Amino acid sequence: MAAPWENWARTQRVTPRRVERPLDAGDIADAVRRAAAEGLRVRAVGSGHSFTGAAVTDGVQLDLDAVRRVERVLPLPDGRSLVTVGAGIRLRRLCAELAARGLALENMGDIDHQTLAGAISTGTHGTGARLRGMAAQVAGVRLVTAGGDVVDLTPDDEAFEPARLGLGAVGVLAAVTLAVVPA
């Protein structure tokens, strides 16, 4: 048994069977396959800022804190850029990485402690009638499926929509590609 886990608001508490800390998509796939072989459920957890039990599991909890590398920055002709980044990155660190490149998120919520994966998986939004929520800024995801396959999805794929706002129930996000704007 792992140590008890509770969310930020202390409204949810659980003791997972174990916590795994993968370093990349391959590690995540291995963890999913191991859990399946043991008949355990898997749940990725972000920073635990959801007020609900969305991130709760008594099976295998995946902590993606180490999956936070900026993999690629691709400038687009319209001034935006496509940035591919590890899904476990905290928003604070993501914003700093973007700022260092003269870039920024289009919009975000009122704190920056959340992970990118947790924020998009729950439809986290900022304010502004014309500014979109974070999931709407997603141009692609790398997903580890329940079968342990690693797939890259774009808006052309049928599975893209459920995967980018999946409440942790549509596989584990390993990387996210965001369309970002000039700072």
Contacts with ligand FAD, residue ranges (CB under 6 A): 8, 43-50, 54-55, 64, 87, 109-111, 114-115, 117-119, 121-122, 124-125, 167-168, 172-173
Which of 119/150 has CB closer to ligand FAD? 119
Closest approach, Cβ 148 to ligand FAD, in A, equals 14
Closest approach, Cβ 101 to ligand FAD, in A, equals 23
Structure tokens, 47: 């920073």
- Measured torsion, CA atoms of residues 8, 14, 16, 19, in degrees rounded to the nearest 10: 10
Which of 8/160 has CB closer to ligand FAD? 8
Q: State whether the Cα torsion 13-148-138-135 is positive or negative.
A: negative
Which of 81/114 has CB closer to ligand FAD? 114
Closest approach, Cβ 110 to ligand FAD, in A, equals 4
Residue 28, phi then psi, degrees to nearest 5: -60, -45
Closest approach, Cβ 75 to ligand FAD, in A, equals 26
Structure tokens, 147: 């079968």
Closest approach, Cβ 149 to ligand FAD, in A, equals 15
Angle at 49 between CA 12 and CA 133, to 5 degrees: 135
Task: Give the H or E element holding residue 138.
Answer: strand 138-144
Which of 43/80 has CB closer to ligand FAD? 43
Which of 109/181 has CB closer to ligand FAD? 109
Tell me which amino acid residue 50 is.
Answer: S
Structure tokens, 15: 């003791």
